[in-house]
Every structure is written in C-alpha cells, then in structure tokens.
Amino acid sequence: QVQLVESGGGLVQAGGSLRLSCAASGSILSINDMAWYRQAPGNQREVVAVITSGGSTDYAESVKGRFTISRDNAKNTVYLQMNSLKPEDTAVYYCNADVHTTGEIPKALHAWGQGTQVTVSP
C-alpha cells in the first residue's frame, strides 16, 4: 500500500556532488521520520541521515558537514544532498519512512525504497 521510489544515484568523481530523491506514494495518512541508509559490499546497513516531520535532522559522523537531508511534506519526498563525495561513500543508498496508512484498518509501518547505487571514483 506504500511505496518509496528513489532516484538520483549514479557515478561521480571524488569531490563531486549528487542529489538523491525519494518519493512516497500509496495509502498514506502521515509520515513521521524519514531517513537515508546505505550499505557497502561486505558492510552492514548504516544510518546516514534522519529528518523528522518537523524538520529536525541528525547525521552520521562520517557525513556530517558534507551531506544535507531535507524534505517536502507536500510531495511526501525526502532528499539527500551529497557534497564533497569520497570513494568511501560508495554504497547502495536506501530511503526509509515511518508511515501511518489510511483505510478501514490503519497501519503503522516502516517502508523501504529499493535502493539506488552511488559510486564515487577516486
């Protein structure tokens, strides 16, 4: 009933920038926290950035000062502006949202996007 669709991934040189987008759709009543995770080969999935419905943010130490998370509540969309990219940022990036659904039987769930590849070349 809820889908997250990501876009904006790709290949960029070290020092470059990318902007990821994630749009939520479906039977959505409201969205609380939204977040970006990433997973590199051989590594566990880690939190990159989190933003609440009110706009409060938190970042992993490794990306602080380089990445900015933002959201457009009218569009149910979250963004991740990634600047000064490093090869260590190479990973599959996943969007996550804490969603309350509409309907006769409302649900609270954590929705995930399919992931988008970000590759940073040296």
* Pairing between β-strand 10-13 and β-strand 116-121 as defined by DSSP bridges: parallel
| Residue 15: count of CB within 10 angstroms of its CB | 10
Question: What residue ranges of the chain have pLDDT lower than 50?
Answer: none
Over residues 42-56, the pLDDT tens digits come to 999 999 999 999 999
Over residues 16-36, the pLDDT tens digits come to 999 999 999 999 999 999 999
| Residue 113: count of CB within 10 angstroms of its CB | 22
